[in-house]
Structure formats: C-alpha cells, structure tokens
C-alpha cells in the first residue's frame, strides 16, 4: 500500500478514536486488517428518523490512491433507504464519488453518511424502488425503514403486522430476507409479493 | 446537509488537558490538508489552505478536469498557489522526480519611480520621472533636483558635471513638453 495512504489512515484512526463522536457513541471505527486497507465503521441511526436506535455497520476499503481517491464504503447492515441499495448496501453519496475532496477524512465521511440517513435525497436514488415508495407513500416508507432497522440493526420498534406477513411467506418455504424484500417492494401487499416470488 | 454536521463537529474540538491540546492545535495549523503531516515544500491556495506541494500536485493530477481546493472546493490551479518559505530553507528534500519543482514565488518590485519609456537614458542616470502621475512627476523631480541621490557620481568629477548638465537639459525638455501639453 502506498505510504501516504497507510500513514494517513493511521493518523485518521487516532483522531477518530479521540473524537467526541466516538465518545458520544455516534460513530465507531475498527481495523479489519493489519495493513490499514480495510476498516469497519459503525454509525448510530440518527434520532427522529426511522433508523433511530439502530446500529449500522459499514465496510470501508481504502484504495492505494487514498486520499486522492475516496474510500469505498458500503452498508453491511441491511437498510431501507432511497440512497442505499437494499440488495448490496452500495451508497449513493456525492462525496464518495465525484465530489470527493482529499481533505475529507473517515470521520467526516461517516458523519456525512449519518447525515444522509437524516436527509435522504430521493431525486438521486441508489434504490429506485425505495425512492419511489419514499416519494409516493412516505408513511409506509417510514414503517418499512423502521421495520428493517428493528430486524437488521437492532432498532427498538417492532412492526407486528409486517412480522406477521413475513412469517406467512416463511411458512411457504421462502427465504426470510427474500420475503421481506418482496413485501417491502410491493408495499406489504401479501398477494402481489407472493405472485412475484412464485412467478 | 452533510456539511452542517461536519461543521458542527469540527467547531467543538475534543476537550482535554489544556497545555497539550493548545500545543497540538498550534501544530495542526501547519499540517498539510492532504497528508495531515507537517507541510513540506508548503504552498498555500488563494483560499488560504495549506498543503505540501507534492500532495497538492498529485491532487491536481488526479482530477485534471475538476481543479478544486481539497478543503473548501474553491477553484484552484497550479499557477495560483503561493509557496511559503520559512527560515533556513536550505535543507535538501529527497528528490522526487515525479513531482515537479514547486512553482516559484512571484516577487513584485516595490513602488518606485519608474523610468520614462521612450527616452532611453544611459545607466547611472539618476533623474527619473513617475509616468503614473505625469505631469506632476515632472515637478516632483524638479524639486528634488538639487539633491542628488547617493548613487549619483561624486561631486566635482567630470561625470558629475555631465550628469548635472544632462539633468538640466532633460528638465527643460520636460517643462517644454508640459507646456506643449497645456497649450497645444
Ligand atoms: Zn502533504
Ligand atoms: Zn480552500
């Protein structure tokens, strides 16, 4: 790994550890390997959002050309958000692409991703299905996001109705996550979700 | 939206033991915004952000089509950075043939009486006219006339006499020129 990348990550790591966001439990950063090329981030779901109370893990890969090119970051925790792929966890955030600036750090990037959870940008979606629901049925979107936070990120709000519907599909021998995706995609209409799963 | 929380976060630096923190903050002022190390071959952008020249150069090379400051995203270019020279700048840096030398500082001469173009005086001729304030510069020169500057030839020598003579001729030429300007 290029010297400057490893050196900078080491420095950033130390700084993050001393930051008040880490002290306050907002973000976390852990090393995955010894050569400073892969880290694991963690952000707390922001208050007053469907993600509140959840803990979201992020995979961080540091390219050899860091900090001249952005780190590659994706959600490892499944999340229902217009700017995050519900399938792969890929994030659509300008600073991780063409708006990257070399002075940004892992700390500021993690905080930006956290801010993205508070303020989605449905006009620049990563997941078209989620974005459509966000625009057309915000209340259902909120419930779905809360449900996902409960199931995958340890959030406190369990949505009984949704759990029941997922269970119905489970009983038909469908994989749990697949069932949840189908139901979320078809606005929790059991019939349409089933149809899609068996066609 | 991202910027808001970022600004909030950086505004309140983590508290700690006062002395050490102070010192660290002082040090941080001289850190390159790209490698986060103490800036070497330091340059500063027009927006006031500090970088190592090799770091900034690599940043500009990485995105030739989008040349912005890595900190504030203001427009930036190789021509518009200012190198910073501290004391004792004699230390040899390790040669990085990939990185071109830092752009040179631009040294603007302090304001002074500039030569009158078109009159082609010889070197050492001490009388000059400020073209900016012409014709007032002429009179300024007139009043300074009897007070040769230190660079002038020593009094009494042939050169001194010659300079005085030329000065007088020139003064009359200048006065005639002014009169011509007024009455023509
Ligand atoms: Zn640097
Ligand atoms: Zn700047």
- From A44, A92, A93, A153, active-site residue: A92
pTM of the model: 0.70
The verdict on A95 touching B (C-beta cutoff 8 Å) is yes
B36 vs A11, A93, A95: nearest CB: A11
CA distance A173 to chain B (A): 42
Q: Is A35 a catalytic residue?
A: no
Residue A158 to residues A12, A154, A164, B37, Cα–Cα distance (Å): 37, 10, 11, 48
pLDDT in tens, A114-166: 999 999 999 999 999 999 999 999 999 999 999 999 999 999 999 999 999 99
* Nearest ligand to the C-alpha atom of residue B49: 2
Asked whether the beta carbons of A106 and A12 are under 8 A apart, the reply is yes
What residues does each domain of chain A span?
3-118, 128-198
Q: Domain B2-83 is classified in which CATH homologous superfamily?
A: Zinc/RING finger domain, C3HC4 (zinc finger) (3.30.40.10)
- pLDDT (tens place) for every residue of chain B, 184 residues total: 444 444 444 434 444 444 455 555 556 678 999 999 999 889 999 999 999 999 999 999 998 888 999 999 999 988 889 988 877 655 544 333 345 667 777 777 776 655 555 454 444 444 444 444 444 444 444 444 444 454 445 565 667 677 777 778 778 888 887 778 777 6
* Closest partner CB to A102 (pick from B5, B9, B34): B34
Interface touch B9/A7, C-beta < 8 Å: no
* ipTM exceeds 0.90, yes or no: no
Using alpha carbons, select from B114, B126, B115 the residue that is nearest to residue B152. B126
- Domain boundary assignment for chain B: 2-83, 125-183
Q: State both tokens at A2.
A: 């290029």
**Chain A: nearest CA to B78, how far in angstroms?**
16
Task: Please report the number of interchain residue pairs, chain A to chain B, with beta-carbon separation below 8 angstroms.
Answer: 66
Any CB–CB contact under 8 A between B37 and chain A? yes
Give the SS3 label for residue B159: helix
All residues of chain B having their beta carbon less than 8 Å from the beta carbon of residue A101 are 68-71, 73
Is CATH 3.10.110.10 what the domain over A3-118 is classified as, yes or no?
yes
Q: How far is the C-alpha of B127 from the C-alpha of B113, rounded, in Å?
A: 9
Partners of B99 on chain A (C-beta within 8 Å) are none
């Amino acid at each position: 790994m290029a010297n400057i990348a490893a050196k900078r990550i080491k420095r950033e790591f130390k700084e993050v550890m001393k930051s008040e966001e880490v002290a306050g439990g907002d973000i976390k950063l852990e090393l995955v390997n010894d050569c400073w090329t892969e880290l694991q981030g963690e952000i707390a779901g922001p208050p007053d959002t469907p993600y509140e109370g959840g803990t979201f893990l992020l995979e961080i890969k540091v390219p050899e050309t860091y900090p001249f090119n952005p780190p590659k970051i994706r959600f490892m925790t499944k999340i229902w958000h217009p700017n995050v792929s519900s399938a792969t966890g890929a994030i659509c955030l300008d600073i991780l692409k063409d708006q990257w600036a070399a002075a940004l750090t892992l700390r500021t990037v993690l905080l930006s991703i956290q801010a993205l959870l508070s303020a989605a940008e449905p006009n620049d979606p990563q997941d078209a299905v989620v974005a459509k629901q966000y625009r057309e049925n915000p209340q259902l979107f909120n419930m779905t996001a809360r449900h996902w936070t409960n199931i995958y990120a340890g959030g406190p709000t369990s949505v009984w109705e949704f759990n029941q519907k997922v269970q119905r599909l489970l009983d038909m021998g469908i994989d749990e996550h697949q069932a949840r995706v189908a139901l979320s995609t078809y606005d929790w209409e059991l019939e349409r979700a089933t149809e899609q799963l068996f066609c | 939206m991202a910027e808001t929380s970022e600004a909030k976060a950086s505004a309140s630096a983590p508290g700690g033991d006062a002395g050490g923190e102070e010192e660290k903050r002082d040090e941080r002022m001289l850190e390159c915004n790209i490698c986060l190390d103490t800036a070497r071959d330091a340059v500063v952008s027009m927006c006031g952000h500090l970088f190592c020249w090799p770091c900034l150069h690599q940043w500009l090379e990485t995105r030739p089509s989008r040349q912005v400051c890595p900190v504030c995203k203001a427009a930036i270019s190789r021509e518009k950075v200012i190198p910073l020279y501290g004391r004792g700048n004699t230390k040899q840096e390790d040669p990085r043939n990939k990185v071109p030398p830092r752009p040179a500082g631009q040294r603007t001469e302090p304001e002074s009486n500039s030569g009158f173009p078109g009159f082609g005086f010889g070197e050492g001729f001490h009388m000059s006219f400020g073209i900016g304030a012409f014709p007032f510069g002429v009179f300024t020169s007139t009043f300074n006339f009897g007070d040769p500057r230190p660079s002038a030839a020593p009094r009494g020598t042939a050169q001194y006499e010659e300079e005085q003579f030329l000065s007088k001729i020139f003064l009359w030429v200048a006065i005639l020129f002014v009169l011509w300007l007024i009455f023509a």
